[in-house]
Structures are given as C-alpha cells and as structure tokens.
C-alpha cells in the first residue's frame, strides 16, 4: 500500500483535466501509451513499460529502502460525484511477495489529492487462502486503519472493479478471477461523504462539482522485481 509520503508527493503532479465522465477503454495493444490519454510518473527504481500488449511493472537495478512505485494518470477524464461510473482492470501478479508488491487502482479526490482510495491486487499462488487484494484509504494524507481485505488461494490473475453510485455516493469494490465468465464477488463499500458504507471518511467533496481522478498504479516495498511477474491490462472506464 502507498505511504503518506506518496499521497503528499502526488499533490504536486496534478495536470489540468476536463470534468465529467467520458467512457474509455485501453487494451494497450499498440504497445505505446497515448500521451493525450495517459501521463506516466515513476519514482525511485520503479519502471512502467508498455509491451506485449500490456503495462509491465519492474523494479531494478536496486530497490529503495522505503518504496518504489509508479502510476499512469488518466488525463482529460474525471468522473463527477453526481455520475454513475465504474472502472475495471485486469492484473497479473506472480511475485509471491504478498502485499509487499501490488498493482491496481489509485482513485483520488480531484480537489484534494491527499484523499485517496487504493484498491490493489497482490496475488497468491499457494493452496492456503491468504490476503491477495485489499482496498485501503487515505484521508488528508493520513492512512486510515480500516481496510477491506480479500483472502483467496491459487489466484494470481484477477479483474478488479470499482463501481461508484451517484445516488448513494458509495464506492463498491469487486473482484473476479481473470478467466472467461467468472463471477464477480463484492468485497465491501466506501463512503467519501462520511455517511454510510462499510468504511467511511469525509472528503469534503463539492456537492455540485466534486470529481475523482483515476490512476493505474504499482508498487514494491524493499523488493526487486523482474519482468513478467506483475502487469496490468484491459482498462475500462464506463457507466455501470
């Protein structure tokens, strides 16, 4: 999971955006990133590279004593507080490092990027169930104690989905194995208004114009990471 330092650093990196939801998908099949759609940010020894029709994550030639991380920021597309929307992403993680190495979504308050949701997949190749995904939350730059965890066995490729409902102002976290016709499992909900949800915090969103920024992120804590073990694919932003 990201640290408070990451959320604070991110404040300095917010470019201008157009508001409102515009459905968009990217399978990264051209093996290049469209600079009109994505901004890449990489910190310490983290590297995000598009190749083999996916976004690959590496950490080399050394690891940072704290954390190496990077993200793709979706440009010109920030869905609003009064819109129904969802994001979906396929992630492979065979690193075998538990929550020391993860990848997934970084959703933030567009008006205050120190308010953050991290929804990440760690993978688990073992036969015994253990934590392989989690939704974690940051309020005003401080990591909250409450989390939404998912435990499973033999799961190294998954689809993550976050669904936002305008009427309830709740984020719902879902996961499914990355295989055809897999059933989605709902893990829990988060309220950015401080009302309702399994976890809640008041982001002080503008009730008329509040918006959410979307990032695809990956990180490693004191670990090297070879190619081919962690990658992201099939991003979709759409109406539910």
Q: What are the structure tokens assigned to 135, written together? A: 């939704």
Q: What are phi and psi of 61, to 5 degrees?
A: -85, -5
What is the arithmetic mean of pLDDT over 161-190? 97
Q: What is the pLDDT of residues 76-87, one digit of tens each?
A: 899 999 999 999
- Can you tell me whether residue 28 is helix, strand or coil? coil
Task: Yes or no: say if 156 and 102 are a contact pair by the CB < 8 Å rule.
Answer: no
Q: What pLDDT is recorded for position 10?
A: 43
pLDDT per residue as tens digits for the range 113-164: 999 999 999 999 999 999 999 999 999 999 999 999 999 999 999 999 999 9
4-238 under CATH 2.60.120.200, yes or no: yes
Scanning the structure block, which residue is given the tokens 């640290």? Answer: 3
DSSP string computed for 52-121: TTEEEEEE-S---SS-EEEEEEEPS-B-BTTS-EEEEEEEEE----GGGEEEEEEEEETTEEEEEEEEEE
Q: Residue 7 pLDDT more than 90?
A: no
Q: Is the dihedral of CA 182, 220, 191, 19 positive or negative?
A: negative
Give the list of residues 6+ apart from residue 85 with CB closer than 8 angstroms, or none.
21, 79, 163, 164, 237, 238, 239, 240
Residue range 15-39: mean pLDDT, rounded = 82
pLDDT-above-70 percentage for the chain: 92
Does 14 have pLDDT greater than 60?
no
Confidence of residue 21 (pLDDT cuts 50, 70, 90): confident
CB count in 10 Å sphere of residue 166: 13
What letter would DSSP give residue 184?
Answer: P
Rounded Cα distance, 38 and 34, in Å: 6
Res. 4 pLDDT band, cuts 50 70 90 = very low
Residue with tokens 């933030």: 108
Confidence band of 20 (pLDDT split at 50, 70, 90):
low
Q: Parallel, antiparallel, or unpaired: how do β-strands 54-59 and 46-51 relate? A: antiparallel
């Amino acid at each position: 999971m990201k640290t408070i330092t990451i959320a604070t650093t991110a404040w300095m990196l917010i470019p201008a955006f157009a508001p409102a939801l515009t459905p968009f998908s990217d399978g990264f099949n051209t093996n290049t990133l469209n600079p009109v759609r994505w901004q890449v940010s990489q910190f310490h020894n983290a590297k995000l590279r598009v190749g083999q029709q996916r976004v690959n994550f590496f950490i080399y030639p050394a690891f940072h004593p704290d954390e190496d991380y990077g993200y793709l920021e979706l440009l010109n597309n920030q869905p609003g507080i009064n819109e129904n929307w969802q994001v979906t992403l396929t992630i492979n993680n065979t690193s075998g490092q538990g929550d020391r190495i993860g990848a997934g979504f970084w959703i933030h308050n567009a008006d205050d990027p120190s308010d953050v949701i991290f929804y990440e997949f760690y993978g688990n190749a073992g036969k015994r169930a253990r934590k392989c995904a989690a939704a974690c939350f940051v309020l005003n730059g401080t990591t909250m104690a409450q989390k939404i965890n998912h435990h499973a066995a033999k799961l190294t490729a998954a689809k993550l989905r976050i669904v936002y409902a305008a009427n309830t102002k709740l984020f719902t976290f879902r996961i499914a194995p990355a295989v055809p016709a897999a059933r989605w499992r709902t893990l829990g909900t988060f309220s950015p208004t401080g009302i309702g949800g399994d976890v809640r915090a008041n982001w002080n969103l503008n009730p008329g114009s509040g918006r959410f920024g979307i990032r695809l992120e990956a990180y490693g804590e004191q670990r090297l990471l070879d190619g081919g073990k962690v990658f992201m694919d099939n991003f979709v932003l759409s109406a539910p």
